[in-house]
Amino acid sequence: MAAPALRLCHIAFHVPAGQPLARDLQRLFGFQPLASREVDGWRQLALRSGDAVFLVNEGPGSGEPLYGLDPRHAVPSATNLCFDVADVGAATRELATLGCSVPVPPVRVRDTQGAATYAVVSSPAGNISLTLLERAGYRGPFLPSFRPVPSAPGPGWVSRVDHLTLACTAGSSPTLLRWFHNCLGFCHLPLSPDEDPELGLEITAGFGFGGLRLTALQAQPGSIVPTLVLAESLPGPTTRQDQVEQFLARHKGPGLQHVGLYTPNIVEATEGVAAAGGQFLAPPGAYYQQPGKERQIRAAGHEPHLLAGQGILLDGDEGKFLLQVFTKSLFTEDTFFLELIQRQGATGFGQGNIRALWQSVQEQAARSQEAE
């Protein structure tokens, strides 16, 4: 591996000036302003909830935004993942020998709180670039050249990033797996026993819905890096685009489809987001009527009517449970969305929940297409 990822620093988004993403993250999801920078037409605002940090770049400006690239993408998008590494210079040299493009070679940035060095590497995952960051000893709240933004404590609905899901073109997952392994030290994380990493986990979503192939990757032991999930669609008996195909079309290519945000109390978080005006996908009508579902929900210590009323999905067995709820898209293009996830001992993603999400997004997509 050329540049083992040690920690996720932040996820960067590029949006047009005036797009409400930064406002919505604060108003709807409890993120608080952390630091900002306005130079050369770029407005960069870092927002935080727990250890989850989103950097919203509003432009376009002249040149490149600090700690990233201007992807010049056709639609608003999550465009950059920033990872702490041990040695940016050594990492970029190794990546270059592997054939990686390094559009921003190592740059050192300093302010009164210390210094950081970063470089930006192109990836084969659509419009996603990767920033490699070395900031040992930096004392500021975010990164050099950013001005701290005073803010009140947030509600604490989100404590960290649990996983990142990339929507991929059909058949590309094995290539992406090898790239992330060779370049950043990610390894295949089986989602089912005896899973073939070349095939991943194939999930059929029910009659008329096609299916989904998931391949999960985890960083090296000891790192603080979310699980990376590669998602591609499987052919099904329908001519209507499925959710991955629709993302690829509306996003103009592969990219970050959603971020799973860990919450210590999903019921409280969902209530808070909904009260603030956030919107969630509705699960399929029959989800909570499945045989044994009520018993399973009660075994996890929850009330079925509360989960059903908020659209929270629950899956698990043997005393280990997974709870998830999914927002509607944060962009008018109906692409990127967020997930709130609570784990009660479960480490995977719950095949039953994946099927339910798939059907929920498909039903929402069908309604959107009918309205067009």
Surface-to-core class of residue 299, CB atoms within 10 Å of its CB (0-12 exposed, 13-18 middle, 19+ buried):
middle
* Residue whose pair of structure tokens reads 């060779």 in the numeric block: 182
Predicted confidence at residue 103, as pLDDT, reads 96
Distance CA(196)–CA(178), nearest Å, equals 14
Q: Residue 49: what residue type? A: S
Q: Which residue type, as a one-letter code, is found at position 205?
A: A
Closest-CA residue to 197 (of 206, 211, 205, 186): 186
Q: Determine contact, residues 78/255, Cβ cutoff 8 Å.
A: yes
The whole-number pLDDT of residue 198 equals 84
Strands 7-16 and 52-59, by their bridges, are parallel
Tell me the C-alpha distance between 65 and 99, whole Å.
Answer: 24
Residue 252 backbone zone (phi > 0: left; psi -120 to 50: alpha; other: beta): left
* Residue 355: both structure tokens together: 């099927």
First to last CA, the chain: 47
Same fold, 7-148 and 160-371: yes
pLDDT at 40: 87
Q: How many CB atoms lie within 10 A of CB 97?
A: 9
What is the spatial distance between Cα 271 and Cα 144, in angstroms, rounded to a whole number? 36
* pLDDT confidence of residue 364: 64
Neighbours of 237 (CB within 10 A): 8
Angle, helices 351-371 vs 243-251, to 10°: value is 50
Cα–Cα separations (whole angstroms), residue 67 to 4, 25, 73, 118: 19, 21, 17, 7
Q: What is the pLDDT of residue 64?
A: 86
Question: Per-residue pLDDT for the chain (372 aa), expressed as one digit of tens each?
Answer: 678 999 999 999 999 999 999 999 999 999 999 999 999 899 999 999 999 999 999 988 788 899 998 888 989 999 999 999 999 999 999 999 999 999 999 999 999 999 999 999 999 999 999 999 999 989 999 999 999 999 999 999 999 999 999 999 999 999 999 999 999 999 999 988 888 888 898 887 665 566 789 999 999 999 999 999 999 998 766 667 778 998 999 999 999 999 999 999 999 999 999 999 999 998 887 889 888 999 999 999 999 999 999 999 999 878 899 999 999 999 999 999 999 999 999 888 777 777 766 666 666 666 666 665
**Are 198 and 261 within 8 A, CB to CB?**
no
Contacts of 370 by beta carbon, 8 Å cutoff, 6+ apart:
none
Domain ranges of the chain: 7-148, 160-371
The verdict on pTM exceeding 0.75 is: yes
The pLDDT assigned to 49 comes to: 98
pLDDT number for residue 214? 92
Is residue 163 annotated as involved in ligand binding?
Answer: yes
Residue 238 has a pLDDT of 65
Residue 7 CA to residue 72 CA, distance in Å, equals 27
Architecture of domain 7-148: Roll (3.10)
Question: In angstroms, rounded to a whole number, what is the distance separating the alpha carbons of residues 355 and 364?
Answer: 14
Which CATH number applies to 160-371: 3.40.50.450, 1.20.1260.10, 3.40.630.40, 3.10.180.10?
A: 3.10.180.10
- The whole-number pLDDT of residue 164 equals 98
User: Identity (one letter) of the amino acid at 316?
Assistant: G
